[in-house]
């Protein structure tokens, strides 16, 4: 059974860059799509973007100017960088593995999430 685990700083200062890593175990990162999703405290889910193991990406247009997702197949990890953060970026950040359906992308397995707070 595949398992995902987010890691990174729990506190980031305004205007700085939020950096998180998702480590995948129990299966190879190859041949799959991988995604980041976030959830502000007490609010709903927001899709951030996804990456294919080959490196191709797709981002939420609302975040595209500030987001970079990358993959390291040698470490079975993929990462999220979100720059110029503000308090509005405070959220629990989840990584997930995508299952390709017939023309759709399904968030099949999720990590437990990590809370990132943006504050000085």
Of the candidate residues 74, 86, 102, 120, the single one contacting another protein (CB under 8 A): 102
Interface with another protein, residue 24, by CB under 8 A: no
Interface with another protein, residue 100, by CB under 8 A: no
* Residue 13 backbone phi and psi in degrees, to 5: -80, 150
CB atoms within 10 A of CB 28: 11
Distances (CA, A) of 105 to 40, 45, 86: 23, 16, 29
Q: Least Å distance between CB 52 and another protein?
A: 15
Q: How is residue 82 written in tokens?
A: 């979100």
Q: What does the CA dihedral 9, 94, 73, 66 come to, rounded to 10 degrees?
A: -70
Interface with another protein, residue 82, by CB under 8 A: no
Cα–Cα distance, 22 to 13 (Å, whole number): 21
Tell me whether residue 11 or residue 106 sits nearer to another protein (CB atom).
106
Q: Select from 7-15, 22-30, 74-82, 108-116 the region that touches another protein (CB under 8 A).
A: 108-116
Residue with tokens 């999220």: 80
Q: Least Å distance between CB 61 and another protein?
A: 6
Interface with another protein, residue 108, by CB under 8 A: yes
Interface with another protein, residue 65, by CB under 8 A: no
Binding site for another protein (CB under 8 A): 44-47, 60-62, 94, 99, 101-113
């Amino acid at each position: 059974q595949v398992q995902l685990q987010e890691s990174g700083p729990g506190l980031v200062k305004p205007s700085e860059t939020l950096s998180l890593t998702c480590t995948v175990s129990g299966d190879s990162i190859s041949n799959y799509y991988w995604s980041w999703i976030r959830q502000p405290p007490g609010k709903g889910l927001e899709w951030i973007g996804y990456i294919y193991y080959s490196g191709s990406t797709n981002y939420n247009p609302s975040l595209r100017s500030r987001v970079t997702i990358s993959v390291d197949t040698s470490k079975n990890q993929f990462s999220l960088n979100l720059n110029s953060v503000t308090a509005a970026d405070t959220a629990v950040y989840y990584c997930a593995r995508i299952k390709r359906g017939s023309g759709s992308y399904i968030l099949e397995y999720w990590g437990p999430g990590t809370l990132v707070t943006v504050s000085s």
